[in-house]
A and B are shown apart, each in its own frame.
Chain A
Amino acid sequence: MVPLNWYIGLSAIIFTIGAVGFLIRRNILIMLISIELMLNSVNISLVAFSHYLQDIRGQVLVLFTITVAAAEAAIGLAIVVSMFKNKAVLHTDEIMEMKG
């Protein structure tokens, strides 16, 4: 049986990849994928703790996370598509309209 620490470790690694990717990459699609990574790393740790503590609430929360992630992906992609259609750009440093 795989010990809990491994799951937590995996989750931490994936989350770090996601966070760092979100902060350093300029491509919007990569940034969205990074967000998905962070969300799913959290899912892994939730399921692991749920199993370890024999508490079903962890897995219920995962279902919510997935729902939110789906909604987020739908809206995020929609924004990306419309942005690309209008400006033909994918990199965030090329869109600075909101600069004060």
Chain B
Amino acid sequence: MEQYVLIPLLPLVAFVINILLGKSILRDKAHWPSVLAVLGSFVLAVMTFAEVAGGKVINQDIYSWIVSGSFKASVGFLIDPLSAIMLIVVTSISLLVHIYSIGYMHGDKGYYRFFAYLSLFTFSMLMLVLANNLLQLYFGWEAVGLCSYFLIGYYFDKKSASDAGKKAFIVNRFGDFGFGLGVIMIFLNLGSIHYADIFGKIGMLQGQTIGMFGYNVDLITLIALLLFCGAVGKSAQFPLHVWLPDAMEGPTPVSALIHAATMVTAGVFMVARFNPVFSLSPVAMGVVAITGAVTSLFAATIALVQKDIKRIIAYSTVSQLGYMFLACGVGAYGAGVFHLFTHAYFKALLFLGAGSVMHAMSGELDIYKMGGLKKYMPVTYWTFLIASLSIAGIPGLAGFFSKDEILWLAYNGGTVGRIVWVIGTVVAALTAFYSFRIIFLAFHGKFRGTHEQEHHLHESPKAMTIPLMLLAVGAISAGWLGISETLGGGNFIGHFFQPVLGHPHVHAGEDEELMVMGISIACAVGGILVSWIFYVLKPEIPKNLAANFKGIYTVLWNKYYFDELYDAIIVRPTMWISSSILIPVTDGTIIEGIVNGVPKAIAAFGERLRKLQTGSVQNYALIMAIGLFILLSLVMFSGVK
């Protein structure tokens, strides 16, 4: 057995150990199997990455899963540059989250359950990333959805948490429905679900159309859009973004895992993986780019006014995922995945930092009730600051290089590209603004919480601060893998991805690249400056703005009323159908009619039959005698044998 098989297998083993023995034997030592397993996976992932960096590509079927007629599905691994980088992201973030959880979840009564699910989550994501065929991808895809449900609803006795879990699961179902149809379309038209076959044959479908609702739809566009449906759900893009901000009802390490490594990145990964399909359909590419751009702008504006620290970061994830799709949509898959890679580190850091703040604040989430935390929790402050600088796109840090690569390639991406470039640049400024809003409100100024909270303020334990520091290293240096050639770097990651993801053609020269870069730096610095003016220098400005533009403020505060909209057009009608049709008619009349009717009929029949049972021995004897007489007569006179 090759070593890479163990990468997903180890977390699965840890899951089994924890779920079977965690409650009775391991108890507060339940982190050991999980942490060790993920550590093992991480080490193996690094080794595998080194092999792939040396030019090796592994594509091997391990196990024949389903064989039925011409349909063949196997469990197989494809490790190329794309999945190698994902391996690093997933295992490293997961490892740090596991370690952080030792401190964060200490003393929780579901400790073993938490670690079991974390490991299962990691296993699912690794299966998804390593898949060499669509069915295995789909397996991982659904499994991460299931694990997210388990973990978001981890505090299942809390109504809002269990609701958020259900919401995540159900909203994802909408996207996955499209994704499932896409998988079926691919199999029907190409006769295989293996990546190698699909990418080899997809060109044959070019120009083919399929009749749908009386229109002729381009087949490849249809397939690409169906697949993208899944990505929209999983990666929380507009209009299926509603589950992600609620997902923070789960414990904070889970948010970090979901937002950085094991869940929302699956959509971007899938689109990048299927770049040969997407690239053949300009329409689908346009849809991806526009969806990404719209989502990033829309989520960033919501993040401007929210007060809940985790909610702001959650919207920032939605916004950054929009960035990644924007990149994929203009053909810059490599840049998109590069941003995924850097984003994983600073976003995990932001979430774990927020968790550390919550830990100190006894669960308080409102940044307006914090303030001045800098002096109480220096490690959290500095790491959070690094993450914010990184996400804002300050030169030298990870976020800068990946964001800049995206903006530069978008700038070169034709008309659609120019439009999304403008949006992306605006979003860069907004991102810098709201990220530093957290810094200024939570960590600077005076403490605004209760005295009791102030008394309890403390730096988090080592198990929590060490992962923060390690992630901070990632948030600084992850981008150095892809320093643009214009800046004198080698753009290692661009060349690394080239065989799998290609590289879009760039027309414009170095001057323009420097100009694009300059604009985005100016936006980032401007955003931070405005944030500083608003929340440090003149705190009355944001209040005045909110009062003067009350309409806009209310819309943003209520997240564009999407939850209310979905509640009105989907949740309520569904509830109405359930309570007024399904429960009384279908369930009450038809199903209960059958279920109760059958035993009633049998009972009525039995009621008649009981009359035979008289209890009198003479009667039985008489019946026996008559029966015997009839039988004997039959035998003797009619010759029946």
Contacts and interface: CB of A to CB of B under 8 A. Distances in A.
A95 B617 CA distance: 9
A93 B618 contact: yes
A93 B616 contact: yes
Interface string B590-624: 00000000000000000001111111111001100
B618 A100 contact: no
B618 A96 contact: no
B616 A23 contact: no
B625 interface: yes
A98 B622 contact: no
A-B complex: 3 closest residue pairs judged by Cβ atoms:
A100-B613, A99-B615, A100-B610
A97 B615 contact: yes
Given A19-B625, A100-B610, A26 B615 contact: no
Contacts of A97: 615
Nearest to A99: B615
Interface string A10-34: 0000000001001110100001000
Contacts of B616: 92-93, 96, 99
A85 B614 CA distance: 24
Q: Size band of the B side of the interface?
A: 10 to 19
- The winner among B609, B612, B617, B625 for most chain A CB atoms within 10 A is B617
Contacts of A31: 617
A33 B625 CA distance: 17
A95 B611 CA distance: 17
Contact of A100 (B615, B617, B625): B615
Contacts of B621: 22-23
B122 to A, nearest CB: 64
A98 B615 contact: yes
A24 B616 CA distance: 12
A100 B615 CA distance: 7
B632 to A, nearest CB: 13
A92 B625 contact: no
25 contacts: A19-B625, A23-B618, A23-B621, A23-B622, A23-B625, A24-B618, A31-B617, A92-B616, A92-B617, A92-B618, A93-B616, A93-B618, A95-B615, A96-B614, A96-B615, A96-B616, A98-B613, A98-B615, A99-B613, A99-B614, A99-B615, A99-B616, A100-B609, A100-B611, A100-B613
A100 B622 contact: no
A58 B609 CA distance: 42
B252 to A, nearest CB: 68
Given A26-B618, A100-B610, A100-B615, 19 more contacts: A19-B625, A22-B621, A92-B616, A92-B617, A92-B618, A93-B616, A93-B618, A96-B614, A96-B615, A96-B616, A97-B615, A98-B615, A99-B615, A99-B616, A100-B609, A100-B611, A100-B612, A100-B613, A100-B614
B603 to A, nearest CB: 13
Contacts of A92: 616-618
Contacts of A100: 609-615
Nearest to A34: B621
A96 B611 CA distance: 13
A22 B610 CA distance: 25
B407 to A, nearest CB: 88
- The winner among B610, B613, B616, B625 for most chain A CB atoms within 10 A is B616
Contacts of B625: 19, 23
Contacts of A93: 616, 618
A64 B625 CA distance: 23
A70 to B, nearest CB: 22
A95 B614 CA distance: 11
B627 to A, nearest CB: 13
A33 to B, nearest CB: 14
A93 B614 CA distance: 11
Contacts of B618: 23-24, 26, 92-93
Contacts of B613: 98-100
Nearest to A22: B621
Interface in A20-60: 22-24, 26, 31
A24 B614 CA distance: 16
Contacts of B622: 23
Interface string B3-43: 00000000000000000000000000000000000000000
A11 B609 CA distance: 38
A26 B619 CA distance: 11
- The winner among A24, A98, A100 for most chain B CB atoms within 10 A is A100
A98 B616 CA distance: 8
Nearest to A92: B617
B436 to A, nearest CB: 86
A23 B616 CA distance: 11
A92 B614 CA distance: 12
B390 to A, nearest CB: 84
B620 to A, nearest CB: 9
A95 B616 CA distance: 7
A36 B583 CA distance: 67
A9 to B, nearest CB: 19
A92 B620 CA distance: 12
Interface in A66-99: 92-93, 95-99
Contacts of B612: 100
Nearest to A20: B625
A6 to B, nearest CB: 23
Nearest to A28: B617
A93 B613 CA distance: 14
A100 B611 CA distance: 6
B331 to A, nearest CB: 83
Nearest to A98: B615
A72 B569 CA distance: 80
Contacts of B615: 95-100
A88 B613 CA distance: 24
Contacts of A26: 618
A19 B621 CA distance: 10
A26 B618 CA distance: 8
A93 B616 CA distance: 6
Interface string B157-199: 0000000000000000000000000000000000000000000
A95 B620 CA distance: 14
Contacts of A98: 613, 615
